[in-house]
């Protein structure tokens, strides 16, 4: 993993700026002979796509993915798969007024300090638009894993906290997740979330979110100790998503408050099958998957682009005020669900291949 | 980063099992002409060393580091620095009774599934003993950073939660941290923690901890978007430490509960210097250091090796009971402080060199 | 370096098949603030482009490079530079008759064995067309090096042997190299080469070539012992070019026939400057540049696609004959000159940045 | 591959200086459950060991390898294998007289320019002593390959040119190679070589060599286009060996002089088996093994340390003379045979695992 490339055997490189002509990614190391079509990829792209509801950015992007290489007669060939997504609805003029100012909470300031130059239009490279390319890569990883492991394998993400509002995670209704605009797993919470988010948007403010990912059907043995542990790589993958500030593996931060008895998941053999009595470990022990469900969660901070006026400085270091108009998600965390899933697919496939390489 | 190697330019590879003849690491890519001695390294090793108080494992290891290469006439030469630490007090017999059983919460089960073989003595490779080698690598990284950035640079870690007990983080007394056996920053909490941990140990149980790391004097501009972001690499580094289950960057998981106004740190120029009004970002924006203090925290689960009897299975899949005697820390989180610091030193130096490479 | 990515800090990933819609590359880790335009890149592309003379393939490709990201207001931003080149003149029908046969000397057979599937049109991924993407990456590396080191830095390649015909390398006329269609450094040889190559083509045959690259103005100190030595990386880069079968560093294979006295280049200080009395080392000692001119040469085997009928087998393993029509270079070695230069630019920039990272 | 680490999945990191306390390597990514003993490794070490005949350095090293980790109850565990070899016969005093001078043909000058510091004793890190660690890594790779592929797999190296003297390669008597002190495959040449090399040594001079490696039983399909081609990685591996200046794959440099008909190896199916009529490709097409014997050769320049006086400069840039006494091989190329074999084992295993990872 390095700079704009993620992965070890199954690797993808993303490129592109929010208001450039296009964004894209190159997937390398993909196993051959896996049936893949642009249509397969689009079903995942559509889940992340902006402009679908009043709760997300109104930027209108079809996010149509075009495959330029690596697929022949409907199957992967083992050579790099290049995908391109054109930017269709960039409104760069919106950014003229703030091009010399640093938006608080954004990477404007740090990109400028690091590189001495930045594409200010729509956040340039730091825009969440980059994540569309990841979803395309993740869609491919999912297809490969489905072929290798079978349909029992799946990764489902959901928003479990929308700002201050939680939901009943125990419900975890997958159909419901796919239906409501919040990826909320609990139908009862949807109404409250709607009202809450409309109020947040009306106030010119924004809110954060917590997303949970559950991967089931993952074979035991994936993960490469010591410095490519499965959970290290998942954490790295998730924190690389824009605005993510925290990651929990299983019980995560809360495990600090448990006793040894409460925390360590007891093991039982039931009808010849290994069962764990609990899953505080989140399906990962010593950085290796145990065969249990992998459960991780991550926090997305509130959108930094808000209408309300804030203190900041400009490129010359002078104090000024900023109010960001543009078209922004009141909660970027919502669209992080398919992105998190995509990163999970990529990490799991990568470790699947790595384990097959080393351990056969 | 791959398998047992961490880093991109400044890379270290650790090796060794808990009850093998020795453990060690090879540091590669270290800049030349930096004064380094075994004595410098020992001062860091001593902070992690077991057997120093009644609150840590009673295994007696001097953890003496011997430098075998890469240093000539007291200075680094730019070639790999190999360090070896002999295991002196391994008591492998303690593990005979449990060699065919999987300790709940440990990686016994997953190592066995992955590799089909495991060194059961003292946890083998999955033992926290491996972290001694990281501290040696971190000590070198610290010396290099001190030379390059100067004495204003420092990383201080502290335990802010010992199991259910918190402390007053606002005190953050560095002298106190170095003095008490818990790396607790708040003198007032030490007494309570003592009693609490003794009770935990007496009960044959264990508890978790939360550690906070603060790095000040870090230059702005470190971090390589998109997939080698500074916070991604820190998260990956910290989760690679045994028993770590969660990582927060700045406000971390809590940032989900803040509003956009509360969360995004406003910027002010005061006497020509950039100041942030708050530090929810933890000193990292868009994966790049902002020049603010870098603040991260991580959770360590309670020690899995406990006296109390637990359900588990053996290598043949039969149900059985286990009670782990050996010499274990009632709270492994305590010794995670110098380890977390070491990983932070390594990540920061690596990104310092990477940034110098790409951006001059 | 891995799969379809080359480099460590300055990294490029190429993608695309000969008869797919496009080919391209993503350049990552490029330093910011370097002026770069599509026009700059085209001047290098034109040197490699097919269809320019009767001595190269008659495929007509404009090889127009479009930059899709990473450049803003005419300067690099430090983010990935994605470039795309559309395939305009692919004639896939030419390959219908041989789609089930393996062309001797080609990678048809090995791609099929490895991946179980291959894009047979125009050689698919194994086509020399892929090298257009490298030339685009190399053009960027050159611009960066010119900015960093100055105009004294240059890399000049030439064909020194066209099949059985040599030339007088001592002439090494750079203007001449740029003028004749063979990149021949010695004007006197051009006429003979013309006649020779026309005869080869007329006979439905092909011939090989030896290319020499000379890089001057390279700072001393580039190269990372032991396993990323400058010459290791150059050799790896050159052998990765289609049809290259051998590499010499300085005196290369011939150094085996020299005595210690003849071979080791004596050193003299003349007017305070270090001078070497000879350059058998090719400017590289212990894998590190010495400040002398870097001189390497490599051999390109004769084009495998020839008109004359050959024995081969088909996909089912049955014996058959093959005669490859299509539009092929009678000597692919000629167009290897700008490709070799491009790879040299990339290796040198990569090591420049790596050295700046580690050694300052 | 980076700095002092070689490989992708099967990776080894070497460390140590010629006159430091020890040298060693850490092998990572080795598959588990492979029987390995120190004794197995010693049989390879002994082939490289100095001081065995009057034709190699008289430095007396037992080169005893001690395994410190990664092997449990005689089998690999999948964790890193650390090996240490103590330096027993370093005579640093020999180097006092030349510590401020740069030996022509050596890396003294370039190490000094790069790092600003160097361990001058015995060449420090640039000493051929480093290659002992590679042979240890290669011995492990060989054992793994033997287990996976079976006994039909083997790599045999031989010296085919000793300075100006060739031999009859067609003989290629493996028993003879193992018997004579030159790894010469043709018994008839041994006597001439003896006389020649004694004369060279007596004259205070040195000579070069060409080594050929033949790997048979290698499965088809190994190699990862485009930038990790099997031949790219072999070339990189061989050129990383001290004093190697050229590499040929199959017909290598000579392929430039062949016609398309002569060069491209025709294919025939004989009794259902694929046969090639010739092997100019050296068993590699498009960077992927074809199942044919892999044949590569490489040139080793004459030992740079010679008795005869040479011009050079000292650290201050002043002109001076140098005559290197010490204990040197009159032809370092001889001992390059087991080193070349070791690198070949490592590259092949690495690609075996990589291919198993990507392609199953």
- The predicted-structure confidence for D317-360, as pLDDT tens digits, reads as follows 999 999 988 778 899 999 999 999 999 999 999 999 999 999 99
Closest CA–CA distance from residue C110 to any residue of chain B (Å): 29
Is 0.85 exceeded by the ipTM?
yes
- Collapsing DSSP to helix, strand or coil, D337 comes out as helix
Touching C (3+ Cβ pairs <8 A), the chains are A, B, D
| pLDDT of D48 | 87
**Per-residue pLDDT for D1 more than 60?**
no
Helix, strand, coil: what percent of chain D each, to 5? 35, 25, 40
Check A260 against B205: CB less than 8 A apart.
Answer: yes
**Per-residue pLDDT for D302 more than 70?**
yes
Q: Which residues of C touch B30 (CB under 8 A)?
A: 358
Q: Which residues of B touch C353 (CB under 8 A)?
A: 357-358
Closest CA–CA distance from residue D22 to any residue of chain B (Å): 6
**What angle is formed at CA B87 by the lines to CA B83 and CA B89, rounded to 5 degrees?**
155
Check B353 against C353: CB less than 8 A apart.
Answer: no
Closest CA–CA distance from residue C31 to any residue of chain B (Å): 5
**Per-residue pLDDT for A327 more than 90?**
no
Q: Which residues of D touch C206 (CB under 8 A)?
A: 259-260
Touching D (3+ Cβ pairs <8 A), the chains are A, B, C
Q: Which residues of B touch A257 (CB under 8 A)?
A: 161, 163-164, 208
Q: Which residues of B touch D116 (CB under 8 A)?
A: 32-33
Q: Which residues of D touch B3 (CB under 8 A)?
A: 11, 28-29, 80
**pLDDT by residue (tens digit) across A175-209?**
999 999 999 999 999 999 999 999 999 999 999 99
Using CA atoms, how far apart are residues A297 and D201, in angstroms rounded to an integer? 70
Angle, helix D131-149 to helix D336-359, in steps of 10 degrees: 50
Q: Which residues of D touch C321 (CB under 8 A)?
A: none
Average pLDDT over residues A83-94: 88
Dig out the tokens for D145 from the structure: 């390959």
Check B264 against A104: CB less than 8 A apart.
Answer: yes
**pLDDT by residue (tens digit) across D59-90?**
788 999 999 999 999 999 999 999 999 999 88
Q: Which residues of D touch A9 (CB under 8 A)?
A: 354, 357-358
Q: Which residues of A touch B205 (CB under 8 A)?
A: 259-261
Using CA atoms, how far apart are residues C294 and C231, in angstroms rounded to an integer? 10
**Cis amide prior to D226 (ω within 30 degrees):** yes
Beta bridge partners of B158: B212
Mutate to test the interface with B, among C79, C357, C359, C360 (most CBs of B within 10 A): C357
D78 neighbors D32 (Cβ within 8 angstroms)? yes
Whole-prediction pTM: 0.98
Using CA atoms, how far apart are residues C131 and B199, in angstroms rounded to an integer? 69
Name the residue in chain A with its Cα closest to that of D76. Answer: A359
**pLDDT by residue (tens digit) across B243-276?**
999 999 999 999 999 999 999 999 999 999 999 9
**pLDDT by residue (tens digit) across A223-243?**
999 999 999 999 999 999 999
Check C15 against A79: CB less than 8 A apart.
Answer: yes
Identify residues of C whose CB sits under 8 angstroms from chain B CBs.
9, 29-32, 78-79, 225, 353-354, 356-360
Check B77 against D124: CB less than 8 A apart.
Answer: yes
**pLDDT by residue (tens digit) across A120-154?**
998 999 999 999 999 999 999 999 999 999 989 99
C322 neighbors C307 (Cβ within 8 angstroms)? no
- Going by pLDDT thresholds of 50, 70 and 90, the confidence category of residue B57 is confident
Q: Which residues of B touch D80 (CB under 8 A)?
A: 3-4, 13-16
Which of D106, D110, D247 is closest, CB to CB, to C220?
Answer: D110
Check D357 against A9: CB less than 8 A apart.
Answer: yes
B56 neighbors B50 (Cβ within 8 angstroms)? yes
Question: Could you give phi then psi for residue A50, rounded to 5 degrees?
Answer: -75, 170
C265 neighbors C284 (Cβ within 8 angstroms)? no
- Going by pLDDT thresholds of 50, 70 and 90, the confidence category of residue B175 is very high
Which of D78, D353, D359 is closest, CB to CB, to A78?
Answer: D359
E strand intervals along chain C: 5-6, 11-16, 22-28, 65-67, 71-72, 75-76, 81-86, 154-162, 165-166, 209-216, 244-249, 267-270, 273-276, 284-285, 288-289, 294-300, 310-313, 319-322
| pLDDT of C1 | 47
Which of B79, B225, B354 is closest, CB to CB, to C357?
Answer: B354
Residue D301 neighbours by CB distance under 10 Å: 31
Check A268 against B311: CB less than 8 A apart.
Answer: yes
Show the DSSP H helices in chain C as ranges: 38-48, 108-115, 131-149, 174-179, 187-202, 230-239, 260-263, 336-359
| pLDDT of A7 | 97
Closest CA–CA distance from residue D173 to any residue of chain C (Å): 22
* Residue A285: CA count within 13 A, CB half-sphere: 30
Segment (H or E) for B158: strand B154-162
Beta bridge partners of A76: A71
Measuring CA to CA, how many Å separate B44 from each of B72, B174, B337, C42, C251? 21, 15, 11, 55, 50
Check A354 against D357: CB less than 8 A apart.
Answer: yes
Give how far the C-alpha of residue A124 lies from the chain's centroid of Cα atoms, to the nearest Å. 19
Which of D13, D33, D119 is closest, CB to CB, to B13?
Answer: D13
**pLDDT by residue (tens digit) across B319-329?**
999 998 877 88
Give how far the C-alpha of residue B97 lies from the chain's centroid of Cα atoms, to the nearest Å. 30
Three-state secondary structure readout of A129-156: HHHHHHHHHHHHHHHHHHHHHCCCCEEE
Q: Which residues of D touch A354 (CB under 8 A)?
A: 9, 357
Name the residue in chain B with its Cα closest to that of D76. Answer: B117
Average pLDDT over residues B125-132: 96
| pLDDT of A48 | 87
Check B360 against C29: CB less than 8 A apart.
Answer: no
Closest CA–CA distance from residue D290 to any residue of chain B (Å): 30
Name the residue in chain D with its Cα closest to that of A354. Answer: D357
**pLDDT by residue (tens digit) across B197-214?**
999 999 999 999 999 999
Check C17 against A69: CB less than 8 A apart.
Answer: yes
Using CA atoms, how far apart are residues C119 and C348, in angstroms rounded to an integer? 33
Check B356 against C359: CB less than 8 A apart.
Answer: no
**Cis amide prior to C226 (ω within 30 degrees):** yes
Q: Which residues of D touch A357 (CB under 8 A)?
A: 9, 353-354, 356-358
Q: Which residues of C touch D306 (CB under 8 A)?
A: 260-261, 264
Considering only residues A99 and C1, tell me which one the structure prediction assigns the higher pLDDT: A99
Question: Is the four-CA dihedral A111, A113, A118, A122 of positive or negative sign?
Answer: positive
Using CA atoms, how far apart are residues C112 and C322, in angstroms rounded to an integer? 17
- Cβ neighbours for D118, distance < 8 A, ≥ 6 positions apart: B72, B77, D108, D111, D112, D124
| pLDDT of D52 | 79
Closest to C211 (Cα-Cα) out of C153, C167, C253, C151: C167
Closest CA–CA distance from residue D24 to any residue of chain B (Å): 9
Which of D28, D76, D125 is closest, CB to CB, to B13?
Answer: D28
Dig out the tokens for D254 from the structure: 């000579």
Give how far the C-alpha of residue D270 lies from the chain's centroid of Cα atoms, to the nearest Å. 36
Question: Could you give phi then psi for residue C137, rounded to 5 degrees?
Answer: -65, -45
Place of tokens 């070899």: D85
Closest CA–CA distance from residue B348 to any residue of chain C (Å): 13
DSSP annotation string for D151-184: TT-EEEEEEEEETTB---TTT--HHHHHHSTT--
Mutate to test the interface with A, among D28, D357, D359, D360 (most CBs of A within 10 A): D357
Q: Which residues of A touch B252 (CB under 8 A)?
A: 245-246, 253, 299
**Per-residue pLDDT for D47 more than 50?**
yes
B92 neighbors B19 (Cβ within 8 angstroms)? yes
Q: Which residues of D touch C279 (CB under 8 A)?
A: none
- Cβ neighbours for C93, distance < 8 A, ≥ 6 positions apart: none
Touching B (3+ Cβ pairs <8 A), the chains are A, C, D
- Going by pLDDT thresholds of 50, 70 and 90, the confidence category of residue B51 is confident
Q: Give the number of C-D residue pairs with CB atoms closer than 8 Å.
A: 375
Name the residue in chain A with its Cα closest to that of B241. Answer: A226
Residues in chain C with pLDDT values less than 50: 1
| pLDDT of A97 | 84
**What angle is formed at CA D309 by the lines to CA D306 and CA D315, rounded to 5 degrees?**
95
Give how far the C-alpha of residue A108 lies from the chain's centroid of Cα atoms, to the nearest Å. 21
Using CA atoms, how far apart are residues A211 and D196, in angstroms rounded to an integer? 75
DSSP annotation string for D210-242: EEEEEEESPPTT--BTTTB-HHHHHHHHHHTST
- Going by pLDDT thresholds of 50, 70 and 90, the confidence category of residue B32 is very high
Using CA atoms, how far apart are residues B207 and B193, in angstroms rounded to an integer? 11
pLDDT > 90 in chain B, percent = 89
| pLDDT of C90 | 80
Which of B6, B247, B262 is closest, CB to CB, to A247?
Answer: B247
Using CA atoms, how far apart are residues C207 and C209, in angstroms rounded to an integer? 7
Using CA atoms, how far apart are residues C349 and C55, in angstroms rounded to an integer? 32
Average pLDDT over residues B215-243: 98
Q: Give the number of A-D residue pairs with CB atoms closer than 8 Å.
A: 38
Mean pLDDT of all residues belonging to chain A: 95
Place of tokens 């920053």: B185
**DSSP category for residue D10:** S
């Amino acid at each position: 993993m390095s700079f704009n490339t993620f992965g070890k055997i199954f690797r993808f490189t993303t490129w592109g700026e929010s208001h450039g002509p296009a964004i894209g990614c190159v997937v390398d190391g993909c196993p051959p002979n896996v049936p893949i079509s642009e249509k397969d990829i689009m079903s995942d792209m559509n889940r992340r796509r902006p402009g679908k509801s009043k709760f997300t950015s109104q930027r209108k992007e079809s996010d149509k993915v075009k495959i330029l290489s690596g697929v022949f007669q409907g199957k992967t060939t083992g050579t790099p798969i290049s995908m391109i997504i054109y930017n269709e609805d960039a409104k760069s003029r919106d950014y003229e007024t703030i091009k010399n100012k640093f938006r608080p909470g954004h990477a404007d300031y740090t990109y400028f300090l690091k590189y001495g130059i930045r594409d200010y239009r729509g956040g340039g490279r730091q825009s969440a638009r980059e994540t569309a390319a990841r979803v395309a890569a993740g869609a491919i990883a999912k297809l490969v894993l489905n072929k290798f492991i079978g349909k029992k394998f799946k990764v489902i993400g959901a928003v479990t906290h929308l700002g201050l509002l939680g939901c009943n995670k125990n419900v975890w209704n997958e159909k419901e997740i796919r239906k409501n605009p919040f990826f909320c797993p609990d139908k009862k919470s949807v109404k409250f979330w709607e009202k809450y988010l409309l109020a947040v948007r009306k106030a010119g403010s924004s809110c954060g979110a917590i997303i949970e990912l559950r991967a089931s059907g993952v074979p035991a043995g994936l993960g490469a100790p010591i410095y490519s542990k499965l959970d290290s790589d998942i954490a790295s993958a998730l924190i690389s998503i824009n605005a993510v500030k925290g990651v929990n593996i299983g019980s995560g931060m809360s495990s600090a408050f448990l006793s040894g008895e409460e925390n360590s998941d007891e093991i039982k053999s039931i009808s010849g099958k290994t069962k764990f009595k609990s899953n505080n470990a989140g399906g990962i022990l010593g950085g290796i998957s145990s065969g249990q469900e992998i459960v991780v969660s991550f926090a997305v901070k509130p959108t930094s682009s808000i209408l309300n006026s804030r203190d900041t400085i400009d490129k010359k270091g002078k104090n000024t005020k900023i109010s960001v108009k543009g078209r922004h998600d009141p909660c970027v965390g919502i669209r992080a669900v398919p992105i998190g899933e995509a990163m999970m697919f990529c990490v799991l496939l990568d470790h699947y291949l790595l384990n097959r390489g080393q351990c056969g």
